[in-house]
Chains A and B, each alone.
Chain A
Amino acid sequence: MNQTPIYKQYHPKWYRKRVSTYWWTQQWSYLKFTLRELTSLSVAYFVVIMLLQVAALNQGPDAYTRFQEWLKTPVAIVLNVIALFFVLFHTITWFNLAPRAMPVRVGGKRLPDWMVAAPNYVAWLVISAVVAWLIVRK
């Protein structure tokens, strides 16, 4: 055995603190982030409601009416209000953060974030108006 003799390596005893499972409650910014991430649940909830509505529609006017009645119950209203809050939170945070991922340069200068976010908001209002009109008109 031809091993160069070396002393046992001295390792300083580093201290590592375990990251708590509740790290996201320990700072307001982390909590806001987690709420933003949880908006995905409301998005999924909306898709489920939509699919249930289409399923009811497919089954006929009685099933559809029953589904409409369920939508009027306090449980449904409360769920929808909560979902709406979270979905709006998603929309606003999404538009506000999008410019950071896609810097827009005009004439060599980078546009400020709000200038890139603003057209998104405008488009959102226009699209919402068009969709609402398509649905509400007789």
Chain B
Amino acid sequence: MAETITVEVTRYRPEQESEPTFESFEVPLRTDWVVLDALNYIKDQVDGSLSYRWSCRMGVCGSCGMMVNGEPKLTCATFLSHYTPGPVRVEPLTYFPIVRDLVIEMTDFLVKLRSVKPWIVREDEKPLSEGEYLQTPEQLDDYTQFSMCINCMLCYAACPVYGLDEHFIGPAAIALAQRYNKDSRDQGSEERLDILSQHEGIWACTFVGECTKVCPKNVDPAGAIQQYKLTATKEWFKDFLMPWRSR
């Protein structure tokens, strides 16, 4: 195996340039190194000004999402040796504004996530004296898959509709809304329906399916969205045929 591999990294320093450029670095090619190790090597040994996000380095925090050779990946879970002989191109996540180097502006995602109320919503609170909310394994199974989301935004980087449409809420936010809708302890489906069934909310989705393909946690956001379309449609028909029913 070769000693080193070339890593091409996006550089964007808004104070000195108006467009991103690429800078190449020679990085040791170790079998156990992931792309994040390469970035840390560059920052520690070569150019301390390289900016990027990372944290747990083991695929659970969702911080280190970047485009590696055009595919959205968690850089802590992507081996350098997979890309021999190289070069490996590391770019910030697509469809997000670039703040600096590999750091993207993620406020849009956070705003949309918050808008779907990703928490247990109760109409009536159970007093503490009555004990915990009980849940069978089957009830847990209903939403477990969607709860695996680590908010890494790889799905947003893969979704062309998110890239094109300002109002589309996006895969992860909808999957997380489903995680709560399907939770037997939650009573907030109606509230979420109002937000999600907005014109663009979920309806801009055309089931490209790329979000599910790139998800490192097998959340299957595309499936969540289609299931939600079905639910929202059933609710629409119920409202249409029985307009008197109380919401």
Contact = CB atoms under 8 A, between A and B. Distances in A.
- A–B: direct contact at CB < 8 Å: yes
A19 B160 contact: yes
A138 to B, nearest CB: 43
B230 A102 contact: yes
Contacts of B14: 12-15
A24 interface: yes
A51 interface: no
B160 A30 contact: yes
B20 A103 contact: no
Interface in A90-131: 97, 100-103, 105, 108-110
A100 B223 contact: yes
Interface residues of B, number: 32
B234 to A, nearest CB: 12
Interface string B194-233: 0000000000001111100100000010110011011000
Give the secondary structure class of A's interface: mixed
Given A14-B97, A15-B98, A101-B230, A30 B210 contact: yes
Contacts of B138: 105, 108
B167 interface: no
A21 to B, nearest CB: 10
B33 to A, nearest CB: 27
Contacts of A24: 160
Interface residues of A, number: 23
Contacts of B222: 100
B170 to A, nearest CB: 15
B98 to A, nearest CB: 4
Interface string B91-108: 000110111100001000
Contacts of A8: none
Contacts of A37: 206
A93 B236 CA distance: 26
Contacts of A17: 94, 98
B168 to A, nearest CB: 13
A92 to B, nearest CB: 14
Given A30-B160, A100-B220, A100-B222, A14 B99 contact: yes
| Interchain residue pairs A-B with the least CB separation, the first 6 | A101-B226, A14-B97, A13-B14, A100-B223, A108-B138, A15-B98
Given A16-B97, A29-B209, 4 more contacts: A14-B14, A14-B97, A15-B14, A33-B206
Interface of B: 12, 14, 18-20, 70, 94-95, 97-100, 105, 137-138, 141, 160, 163-164, 206-210, 213, 220, 222-223, 226-227, 229-230
